[in-house]
Amino acid sequence: MFFLIAIVVIVLLISVVSTLVIAGGNGDENYRGASKRNTVNLTLIYAVIIILALIALGLYLVLS
């Protein structure tokens, strides 16, 4: 079980880091300005998904 949880956490971390690296690259200034809102939205989505996943995991562990 610990192994599966570790895999999920690793995938989440890789996803967040990849998103930030791609969004934070040296690009056109207009593009970077326009993509800032998208990056914020995506970060919020990741935060909500992580919280929901942790709650679901907690419920699973408590109820099983």
**pLDDT band with cut points at 50, 70 and 90 for residue 1:** confident
Pinpoint the alpha helices (H) of 1-64: 2-23, 29-63
Whole-model pTM? 0.50
Per-residue pLDDT tens over the stretch 28-55: 667 667 778 888 899 999 999 999 999 9
Nearest to 9 by CA among 49, 43, 38: 49
Confidence at residue 8, expressed as pLDDT on a 0 to 100 scale: 92
- Range 33-38, long-range pairs (CB < 8 A, 24+ positions): none
